[in-house]
Amino acid sequence: MCQMNSKGIFKEMMGATNDSEKRKISKGRRDLASIQEACAGGSLGVGGGLKKGPWTSAEDAILVEYVKKHGEGNWNAVQKHSGLSRCGKSCRLRWANHLRPDLKKGGFNPEEERRIIELHAMMGNKWARMAAELPGRTDNEIKNYWNTRIKRLQRAGAPIYPPEVCLQVLNGSRDNQKSTLPTGDAHHHDHLQGDDLEIPDVKFKDLDLDREYLSYSPKLLDIPASSLLKQGIGSSRPYNFKIPTIYPFKRLRGSETMFPGPDVSVSGALPIFSHYMDNTNENVAEPFNLPSITFPYHNTNDQLPSGVLPGSHALLNGNSSSSEPISEAMKLELPSLQYSETQPGSWGTPTSPLPSLESVDSLIQSPPTEQTHSDCLSPRSSGLLEAILYESQTLKGSKNSPQQTSDTSFMPADVVESSPMNPCNKTKWEAHGEPNSPLGHSAASVFSEYTPLSGSSMDEHQSVETVLGCSSMPETVNQDRTHYFIKKELSTQRDFTRPDALLDLGWFGHYNEHGKDQSTLTDAIGALLGEEYSNGY
DNA sequence: AAGTTCGCCAACCGCCTATAT
DNA sequence: AATATAGGCGGTTGGCGAACT
């Protein structure tokens, strides 16, 4: 009888069509299961007589009543005091994910989805932290959403992080480095002290990257990327996204949040490449005359805008795919530094050095290899922010290091002794057990290869600069180190006069397919590297 | 119509950390 | 200091309906 009634209810619920309703249906289905289970008397788990599986409404009621009386916590006591045949963990989970009164019901709204993407870009798979930033949402919800989304994007061959999120995070990281943190968490400050991490802006005039568009305005996210590109630059509205802190190295407890305010605005950002080049020539990016950046991704809807190749190199989207949809069987490809000389005629068609989405997927789903390090500010963490911060820090150091010109002894052995172009060489990140970064093997891998680490063991209490090896070295050293690396690339494998060369580095979104402005590009490289390079070419 | 795949979700599991003993 | 326990987190699994083939 119970089952018949339930079926009737279930059938009625099947009429709903939208996502929110579907979720309700789904929940209804589970409620149905619970009802049925309750009718059947439920089932007890094997061990200890504790019940497993779906919760019944009766159990929920018991748990709610218990929490009302005793408050949250001491979950193991629930069984004793209420007679509920559930383990403490199960009770806590049930309460946290379903019974808490402050939970939001229904699907994520676009704003929440956008926040999830951004937060993931910054945090990686830190679901609990992300949940702390999304009131009423649970880590489990976010995790499920993300995993589903990843699968969807993976199939579509689309980048996981919208370019603007990359930019936002990048810029946010920069701002973060400059800002005084309002969190009041002294612990966080410990990781932010150090040298001036300012990275001056560079204007990418020809990129039509309007900072306005890169702002955090939610409306932006409803604007198709294609239309964004049409609208051009015009605003000088300041970007005020401040990541107030590098997220805690310890897990958040309770309601600890990463951001103090209810709303966090996200600024636009500049490509990593601009950071790199900036110090050398403030507008050095300009000569590149990059025609556009392809936005292969329409933020909130997970849709590929029409006319945009799913595999376009998204700016900073190291996880962007090649020009073809990524097959499921496709495994992690070579680092983006690879330029395939074996593919003549691939001019204008980057040889897909970027990792497939699958690799990103594995990034997202693969557990950290060492918990101790997972929270360190290093590329080992899976957040885009971390990767970018890492790069920024590295670049910051790299930009200011003239003393190092020929002193390769400073460099990590694997950098000095092995070509970063060598596909057999794993990046630092890979070597440390995290084969992927949110940037995949684009810019991130470029720099990670060149980033000295203070050691394989990075104590989580190390300061950022120590971890990144920035402040501990003379700034002048790093600049020439970068110089060295670029030159090394130029002299060894990469033809930077080819427009896709930098694409392979993941620095630019989408260069002119026809290789226009090669000379301009060369000039820019020359400007970047100095006459030595220019003359040499 | 049947089978397969996908999307969604709840729940469990194992591990880690903090705290208590 | 060592051990036990509780709480928390992230990864994974399994079930179900919907959509697709």
Per-residue pLDDT of A254-282, as tens digits, reads 333 333 333 333 333 322 333 333 333 33
> Is the model more confident about A392 or about A304?
A392
Q: Is 50 exceeded by the pLDDT of residue A214?
A: no
Q: Is 50 exceeded by the pLDDT of residue A389?
A: yes
CA distance A228 to A175: 24
By C-alpha to C1' distance, B16 is nearest to A371
CA distance A197 to A310: 35
A136 touches strand B (CB under 7 A): no
DSSP for A409-427, written as a single string? GGS-HHHHHS-TT-TTSPP
The range of the structural domain enclosing residue A23 comes to 1-31
Let me know whether A24 and A169 are in one domain: no
Report the range out of A206-220, A354-368, A387-401, A408-422 with the highest average pLDDT: A387-401
pLDDT of amino acid A102: 85
Q: What is the nearest nucleotide to A34, using C1' and CA?
A: B10
Q: Is 70 exceeded by the pLDDT of residue A157?
A: yes
Terminal-residue alpha carbon distance, chain A? 84
Q: Is 60 exceeded by the pLDDT of residue A93?
A: yes
Q: Is 70 exceeded by the pLDDT of residue A4?
A: no
Cβ burial, residue A495 (10 Å; 0-12/13-18/19+)? middle
Residue A521 counted as domain residue:
yes
Tokens 């955090």 locate to: A216
CA A54 / C1′ C18 distance in Å: 22
Residues 6+ apart with CB under 8 A from A262: none
Show the tokens assigned to A414: 């694997």
pLDDT of amino acid A147: 83
pLDDT confidence tier of residue A163, bands split at 50, 70 and 90: confident
Q: What is the nearest nucleotide to A252, using C1' and CA?
A: C8
Residue A140 counted as domain residue:
no
Residue A319 counted as domain residue:
yes
pLDDT confidence tier of residue A387, bands split at 50, 70 and 90: low
By C-alpha to C1' distance, B9 is nearest to A26
pLDDT of amino acid A139: 87
CA A209 / C1′ C21 distance in Å: 43
pLDDT of amino acid A48: 53
Q: Is 60 exceeded by the pLDDT of residue A388?
A: no
Tokens 């995790």 locate to: A143
A76 touches strand C (CB under 7 A): yes
Residues 6+ apart with CB under 8 A from A110: A218, A221, A222, A300, A301
By C-alpha to C1' distance, B10 is nearest to A54
Q: What is the nearest nucleotide to A27, using C1' and CA?
A: B9
Domain total in chain A: 2
Are A193 and A176 spatial neighbours (Cβ–Cβ below 8 Å)? no
CA A210 / C1′ B15 distance in Å: 45
A514 touches strand C (CB under 7 A): no
Residue A281 counted as domain residue:
yes
User: Of A417, A445, A422, nearest to A504 (Cα)?
Assistant: A445
Q: What is the nearest nucleotide to A123, using C1' and CA?
A: C10
Residue A88 counted as domain residue:
no
Residue A389 counted as domain residue:
yes
Q: What is the nearest nucleotide to A143, using C1' and CA?
A: C10
Let me know whether A24 and A171 are in one domain: no
Residues 6+ apart with CB under 8 A from A143: A125, A127
A196-221: b or e for each residue (b if 16 or more CB lie within 10 Å)?
ebebebbbbebbbbbbbbbbbeeebb
CA A288 / C1′ C20 distance in Å: 46
Beta bridge partners of A298: A303
Please, which positions of strand C sit below 7 A from a protein CB? 5-13, 15-19
Residue A36 counted as domain residue:
no
Residue A190 counted as domain residue:
yes
Residues 6+ apart with CB under 8 A from A27: none
pLDDT of amino acid A446: 30
